[in-house]
Amino acid sequence: MFGTVLVANRGEIALRVARTCRELGIRVAAVHSTVDRESAVVRYADETVQIGPGPARRSYLDYAAVLAAAERVGADAIHPGYGFLSEDPSFAEACEAAGFTFIGPPPKVIAALGDKTAARALMAAAGLPLLPGEPVDDVTRAAAVAGGVGYPVIIKAAAGGGGRGMRVVQCAADLADAYLRTRAEAQALFGDDRVYVERFLPNGRHVEIQVLADAHGNAVHLGERDCSVQRRHQKLIEETPAPGVPRDVVARMGEASVRGALAAGYVGAGTFEFLLDDAGDFFFLEVNCRIQVEHPVTEAVTGLDLVAEQLRIAAGEPLGLTQADVAPRGVAIECRVNAEDPARDFAPAPGRLDAFTVPGGPFVRVDTHAYPGYRVPSAYDSLLAKLIVWAPDRDTAIARGRRALADFRVDGPGVHTTAGFLRDVLADASFRAGTHDTGLVARLQSQPETQEDS
Amino acid sequence: MTTLAEARDGAGPDAAGVLDAVRRTVLLLANEAGARPELVRVSVGDVAVEISFGAVPPVPAAVPTADPSVGSVVPTPQTPARAALTSPAVGVFYRAPEPDAAPFVAVGDTVTEGQQIGIVEAMKLMIPVHAERAGRIAEELVADGAPVEYGEPLFALDGG
């Protein structure tokens, strides 16, 4: 196992990774920007290095600064967390070249799976079902493909991910404009304007499979997470098991994911994302080559520490479990409490936290980097805390989630959170019935008054 | 840096791929005028190319206390009470251009804004350190060859 791990991230995930390192007896070093110099992980880590100013481009995204910090602290390995450098194959390669183990898949695998066009081809060859569609490089071809697969379609950046660089097109008249906009956006966001057109499932369920693969050709899946509660392709609530999805469908998705992981030469923790239609047919969307925000949901039902698994795999150890050992139990729900104002279309609402108290009680986990007096910076994403609740059944988990959300105390000048909105989602009839889809948040937002039952 | 990965993806690095990667990297950097690529090391396969754009104006507001977003935060012990010249990067600080050469500046010297006062080596990149402001060097705060963080005070200034 590693002696020292450098955590190349910030916020709740940096602290979460650092905690597991400490449990495993690994010395943990943290990097931080000037904005984050008083952050929780900085207080927690054994050693810290200030690597740059607030803008991520000159700190958390700066290869040389992160690698110089790794050298300075004597790191054996670098954990990239999620976002930032976590799915950057060039950074992974630079780590290896500088003599540090990158905690993630091999650079070539990240590169292949990060390109959605290449990933589609790879997974099609491995026998995974795909929504009809293909890459397009001019507007005529885009119109032809869209006509062929049938409207509505979605245009996606080949290099995209994280819900950015995609656009739904309802009819042929809107296609040309949407095609040009998505290409321009893809160029601006990812420096790569390649796009493809795919059939869009308007009321699809977003269900993903967690996989673990070691460097010795073993892979298992750890069941699914339903991430259908989304706002503009950004997830707000995730849960497992996926309500209403037959277990044999989940089992087939899991088998397909393991097959895909082995075909790709995947090593580490990864997620296979699928869209699921009403008929129980599922379609491969993409692979996320990182630990995900919602990984605690899987941890809650499997009893596994996914970051510990990542560290063991990166250190070259074989998986300590087989598929038969994976026996998820109960229901887990994660709610993302963001520093955003739902009344102002979820605009970021950062600021200093005069009060910050998190819920507790049985089967309640809160992953957060915030504390009373913490200043939520405007320079980074607005995730403030993740609430994860577990219960033997879904009704109890929902009640526990609503109770715990109500127990959050977050106050500060200008600070708002999504906790109240998330309570409304948990109270929604379609959510409770487990029949909701990715359109739920938009429907709730269009309601003038939020529900105020208990 | 994506360009490098693309160039590396083939069966092996070839001359055209290397040149293309370098060309695109230079273009990328040139487009980012205002950034500070004083020196860039491009490595494709066994070929390494170093690019220097020469003197670039120092980046303003690198003094930690000048960061407006941390206004109410308790200053860390390293934050000086007097004006200081700070490190622009994480790495190892060198006071002189070469091991046996005279240092760029010494106590008592007057420096002008933009004058080179040292070097920070980060992953074999030699990053020139320029004075962010004019003044007289009052004290050397970091030893030659010592590791430094971004924003770490290197020299205390009088009249800064």
Residues 6 or more apart in contact with residue A186 via CB below 8 angstroms? A157, A158, A159, A160, A165, A192, A193, A194, A195
Report residue A278's pLDDT band, with 50, 70 and 90 as the boundaries: confident
Q: Interface pTM (ipTM) of the complex?
A: 0.80
Contact (Cβ atoms closer than 8 angstroms) between residue A426 and residue A418 = no
**A192 to chain B: nearest residue by CA?**
B2
Mean pLDDT, residues A328-356 taken together: 96
More confident call, A130 vs B33: A130
Does the pLDDT at position A26 exceed 70?
yes
pLDDT value of residue A448:
53
Task: For A230-262, write each residue's pLDDT tens digit.
Answer: 988 889 999 999 999 999 999 999 999 999 999
Q: Which of A32, A47, A50 to mutate to test the interface with B (most CBs of B within 10 A)?
A: A50
d(CA B9, CA B12): 7
- Considering just the CA atoms, what is the radius of gyration of chain A in Å? 21
Does the pLDDT at position A170 exceed 90?
yes
pLDDT value of residue B44:
61
Catalytic residue (choose from A290, A336, A400, A402): A290
Report residue A377's pLDDT band, with 50, 70 and 90 as the boundaries: very high
Lowest mean pLDDT among A4-18, A183-197, A217-231, B131-145: A183-197
- Look over chain A and give the mean of its residue pLDDT values, rounded to a whole number: 94
Residues 6 or more apart in contact with residue A88 via CB below 8 angstroms? A110
Contact (Cβ atoms closer than 8 angstroms) between residue B123 and residue A71 = yes
pLDDT value of residue B142:
96
Angle of CA points A293, A299, A302, to nearest 5°: 150
Contact (Cβ atoms closer than 8 angstroms) between residue B29 and residue B35 = yes
**A91 to chain B: nearest residue by CA?**
B1
Which A residues, 56 through 75, put their C-beta within 8 Å of a C-beta on chain B?
59, 63-65, 67-69, 71-72
Q: Do A68 and B9 touch (CB under 8 A)?
A: no
Number of CB atoms found within 10 A of residue A137's CB: 12
pLDDT value of residue A32:
98
Report residue B60's pLDDT band, with 50, 70 and 90 as the boundaries: very low
The shortest CB-CB distance from A51 to any of B62, B72, B90 is to B90
A290 an active-site residue?
A: yes
- Look over chain B and give the mean of its residue pLDDT values, rounded to a whole number: 72
Q: What are phi and psi of A370, to 5 degrees?
A: -85, 160
- Cβ neighbourhood burial of B40 (10 Å; 0-12, 13-18, 19+): middle
d(CA A18, CA A303): 19
Does the pLDDT at position A452 exceed 70?
no
Mean pLDDT, residues A343-347 taken together: 93
Phi-psi region of A280 (alpha: psi -120 to 50; beta: other; left: phi over 0): left
Most confident of A438-447, B76-85, B109-118: B109-118
More confident call, A341 vs A117: A341
Report residue A96's pLDDT band, with 50, 70 and 90 as the boundaries: very high
More confident call, B5 vs A22: A22
- Partners of B60 on chain A (C-beta within 8 Å) are none
- Sign of the alpha-carbon dihedral angle for A396, A399, A400, A401: positive
pLDDT value of residue A279:
87
Does the pLDDT at position A34 exceed 80?
yes
H or E element that contains B126: strand B125-130
pLDDT value of residue A454:
40
Does the pLDDT at position B67 exceed 50?
no
CA-based nearest residue to A287, from A225, A211, A228, A234? A211
CA-based nearest residue to A37, from B93, B87, B121, B69? B69
Lowest mean pLDDT among A221-225, B16-20, B79-83: B79-83
Mean pLDDT, residues A336-355 taken together: 95
A107 touches chain B (CB under 8 A): yes
pLDDT value of residue A445:
86
Contact (Cβ atoms closer than 8 angstroms) between residue A332 and residue A241 = no
Mean pLDDT, residues A334-354 taken together: 95
Amino acid at position B80, single letter: P
- Partners of B124 on chain A (C-beta within 8 Å) are none
Q: pTM for the whole thing?
A: 0.84
**B4 to chain A: nearest residue by CA?**
A90
Tell me the three state secondary structure of residue A2: coil
Q: How far is B9 from chain A (nearest CA, A)?
A: 8
d(CA A269, CA A288): 9
